[in-house]
Amino acid sequence: MPFAKSRIKPVLLGGLTALALTVGANAMAALPCIMGDGYKIPSGGNVTVAPVSCGSDCYDYPNGGFETKLFCVNGVLGESDPKLTGGPVAPLVNAAEYNGYSRCTALPTAAYKQSADRKSCIRR
Q: What is the pLDDT of residues 6-22, one digit of tens each?
A: 444 444 444 443 333 44
The answer on 8 and 68 residing in a single domain is no
The answer on 21 and 35 residing in a single domain is no
The answer on 42 and 19 residing in a single domain is no
What is the distance in angstroms between the CA of the first residue and the CA of the last residue of the chain?
43
The answer on 58 and 40 residing in a single domain is yes
Over the stretch 31-78, which tens digit does the pLDDT of each residue have? 999 999 999 999 999 999 999 999 988 988 988 899 999 999 999 999
Q: Report how many domains make up the chain.
A: 2
**Separation between Cα atoms, residue 57 and residue 61, nearest integer Å:** 8
The answer on 75 and 112 residing in a single domain is yes
- Listed in sequence order, the residues at least 6 apart from 91 whose beta carbon sits closer than 8 Å to its beta carbon are 78, 79, 80
The answer on 40 and 21 residing in a single domain is no
Are the CB atoms for 35 and 99 separated by under 8 Å?
A: yes
